[in-house]
Structure 1
Amino acid sequence: MATRTQARESVIGLLYAYDLGNEGIVKFVDEILEDKKIRNKQKEFALDLFNGVIKNLEEIDKEIISHLNQGGIKDTGSVEKSILRLAIYEIIFKGLDKAIVINEAIELAKKLASDSAPKFINGVLDKVKKA
């Protein structure tokens, strides 16, 4: 059985593909999660996260932009952006414990993104946490 971390990792992959212009991926989310063996409660969890981020994408991106020091959201890597979008959705829209969400985002960044990503993600999310 998949863990919540594995479900989040799958959601990040889906958000990454969506960010790269594959908006049609929305039609295949069920099959993709099934292929990754994300089932039952974890599938419901992943679908809720993915659909929630997509539904609130504009507001989430405004939140990210408001906490970027230089450059902009276009200069942020797609994996990093996907991790931030998911974490901000969980903090703002789901009301989950910020420290837990930030820790999970950092761990996912260590696994999925560049070497500098964990520090960057921690910095942005820490600002969200204080807002």
Structure 2
Amino acid sequence: MATRHQVREAVVSLLYAKGMVSQKDEFIDEILEDRKIRNKQKEFANSLLNGVLQNLSSIDEVLNSHLSEHKIHEVGEVERAILRLGAYEIKFTQIDKAVAINEAIELAKELGNETSPSFINGVLDKI
């Protein structure tokens, strides 16, 4: 069974893929199945993904208000996906804010470049 961290990593991958090209929903199921994300974890992944997508404009508005030099559309695709997921969890879920930020930092360490973790931390900490 996948951990919640692995689920978040899959959601970041899905957000990244959706940002690059418009994907059909079958693509989502394929990625989740490939990563062995099933049952309750699949529900969790879908709730995160759908939550981000349904609240995208307000998430981007919040992020833009806390980005000092750039706007969200100028941020790299991976960092944008991580920021959107982190901001969604902070603003729209009951998860502890520190947990959401820590998860985003860990994702940035795994998926981003060497400056991604501090950038993600700085933006999400402002929220």
Q: CA deviation at 1:15?
A: 0.1
In 2, the alpha carbon distance for the partners of 1:25 and 1:127 equals 34
Structure 2: gaps spanning 5 or more residues: none
Q: How many residues align?
A: 127
Q: Is the 8 A contact 2:19 2:77 kept in 1?
A: yes
1:19 is aligned to: 19
SS at match of 1:23: coil
> How many angstroms does 1:32 deviate by?
1.6
Where does residue 6 of structure 1 map in the other structure? 6
CA RMSD of superposed structures (Å): 1.0
TM-score (norm 2): 0.95
Whole-angstrom distance in 1 between the partners of 2:83 and 2:58:
13
Shift of 1:71: 2.2
Change (3 A) 1:14 1:25: farther
Deviation, structure 1 residue 116: 0.3
Q: Does 2:111 match 1:91?
A: no
Identical pairs, percent: 58
Equivalence for 2:44: 45
Q: What does 1:39-118 correspond to in 2, within 5 Å? A: 39-118=38-117
| Amino acid in structure 1 at the alignment position of 2:14 | L
